[in-house]
Chain A
Amino acid sequence: MSFWNDPLKIAADWLMGIFTGWGMPEIAAQILIGFLGVFLLVALLMVLDIFLVWVERKVVARFQDRLGPNRVGPWGLIQPFADIIKLIIKEDTTPGGADKVVYNIAPMLSMMSVLILWAVVPLAPKIIGVDLNIGALYIIAAGAIGTLAIIMAGWSSNNKFALIGAFRQVAVMVSFEIPMLTMLLIPTIFAGSMGFNAIIEAQDIWYVFLAPLAAVIFLIAAIAELGRAPFDMAEGESEIVAGFNIEYSGMKFGMFYAGELLHAFTFGGFMGILFFGGYRFFGLEQVSAFLAVAVIVFKAFIGYWIIMWVKYTLMRIRIDHMLAFNWKFLTPLAFTLLMVTALMNALLAGTSPWIYTSGMFLSNVALGWIALEVARRYSRRERARVEGVVTTSRSTLVG
């Protein structure tokens, strides 16, 4: 075992030697080392977060045919640091009617709900905070705390826009949690475990090939969970100004903003872990742990880029349409997919990987096609009803 394969254990052993050398009891040293490790990871995430501000601004600029930040430093790279200085020295106002304690706790909880997600993210075969055997449910639990932070922020601000934004966002978040939970069940079925390390280890074939429809539904649910466009009920900057964080300024706003970006990046990472093989990439993870970390960060960035792509391409969907889309389309589809996957998994058990994979893939594609066809028929009938005329068969129009 060399440093390149398991750097964490080597570093921990080395620190353990130092701390026990100082006469510290072993258990205290272990906790201290754990604390240092967690602190290091979180500090690195915050640095990454600062960088994400730049990435986001640069990418949105490209999507909108602009240049983006390009004045401060090369390619505007120093821009986020200037932003941070501004956030730090900005006066922090609290609205008069606000509920002060709840108002101040909300941004901290919001950031925390994102940071604790990284406790279960496997960065390399041996670099993982905690290899919980309930990893999939843990991310939903962390999301529950994030939901709570939004409702706290919206309520405590004593602002109608904030409350409306928070309510809409929470309604959307909880609704889309159902398809997300259901889609978490599908990698669980394939891998026979909820732990992320086990899910990655079982992915000799990326799960996106076994369950492409599940990956798409998970992406949609993740975007809704993140509260990003086209599902940005909370912000709705053109109708309810900024939603739940309207009254926040300075660093407290910064926490919501940074939390949102890091959350999107994290869910890009979860896409990579659940459906794209996590840190595995043609045996590269066996060469060195650092390469494995590079692979998963790269995959997370691709997922993040897709989320940004969706955000800057589609327009906002009205809340009633969103909830109808979830409860009348996505949830039944997700449960049907779960039943089909479970059935196929049992029927195809024991067959060769090729038959298994193609059977799963074809059943997913067929189900997706059927669902789209049903939605298309329904929307055509609905349109005919609304317009009062029978539209001719223009099959290219979907919902």
Chain B
Amino acid sequence: MTGEQIIFLLTALFTLGSGVMVVTSRNLIHAALWLVSALFGVAVTYALLDAAFLAVVQVVVYIGAIAILFIFAVMLTRKDMRDQGPQMNTNWWFGALLSVLVFGGLFFLLQGWSGLSRTASPIPPGFDSISELGNALISPDAYVLPFEVASVLLVAALIGAVYVAFNPRSGDTRK
């Protein structure tokens, strides 16, 4: 096993463990913080793949913005951070069965696949992924339309959020 694989396995364990903690911790803020560590694990995975831009964007957007948004949302909606209700519903056995089946199926399918033991081939020197990404985003024969549509999508998200937060009855923003 190479060093890269060892680091990957540790990162994967860390990410999955954090993910489990997100759904099992009773304190909502703790769950949000575990979510942050799971997202950070994903960023480390991107870094392992030499996807520098994605790794940093993962931290900037998910930890810097979405996690903060989650924490604000939790603080706004709940007076009590500690959830009292049961953590399982009556269908838990069905969910467990399904996940075991899916895991078994994937395990069976991927047994003969050689990709699991391969490491990512190194990026050739002089390959600037940011420039390539920039080219792809703005050259007319590539992704220029999705690039502009992304902007429209973001505005739609903003307008939606404003509409949800806007209280039409009282006519102001106070809730």
Contacts and interface: CB of A to CB of B under 8 A. Distances in A.
A contacts B directly (C-beta below 8 A): yes
A138 B60 CA distance: 8
Contacts of B130: 133-134, 193-194
B29 A137 contact: no
A259 to B, nearest CB: 17
Contacts of A152: 33
Contact of B59 (A102, A145, A170): A145
Which of B63, B64, B67, B129 has the largest count of A CB atoms less than 10 A from its CB? B64
Contacts of B60: 137, 140-141, 144
A370 B71 CA distance: 39
A102 B67 CA distance: 16
Contact of A177 (B29, B64, B71, B72): B64
B13 to A, nearest CB: 20
Contacts of A143: 64
Given A27-B3, A132-B52, A194-B130, A170 B63 contact: no
Interface string B35-73: 010000000000000001100110110011101100110
Nearest to A152: B33
Nearest to B61: A144
Contacts of B65: 144, 174
Nearest to B52: A134
B25 to A, nearest CB: 11
Interface size class of B (residues with CB under 8 A): 20 to 34
A151 interface: yes
Chain A interface, DSSP helix/strand/loop, else mixed: helix
B141 interface: no
B52 A133 contact: yes
A148 interface: yes
Interface string B73-116: 00100000000000000000000000000000000000000000
B128 A144 contact: no
Interface string A131-172: 011100110110111011001100100000000000100100
Given A27-B3, A133-B130, A194-B130, A151 B68 contact: yes
A393 B3 CA distance: 71
Contact of B33 (A102, A133, A137, A140): A102
Interface string B138-151: 00000000000000
A141 B65 CA distance: 10
Contacts of B56: 134, 137-138, 140-141
A140 B59 CA distance: 9
A154 to B, nearest CB: 10
Given A27-B3, A134-B130, A148-B36, A140 B64 contact: yes
Interface of A: 27, 99, 102, 132-134, 137-138, 140-141, 143-145, 147-148, 151-152, 155, 167, 170, 174, 177, 193-194
7 contacts: A99-B30, A133-B130, A140-B60, A141-B56, A144-B65, A147-B68, A174-B64
Q: Sorted from nearest, which 4 A-B pairs have the closest CB atoms?
A: A144-B64, A141-B59, A137-B56, A144-B63
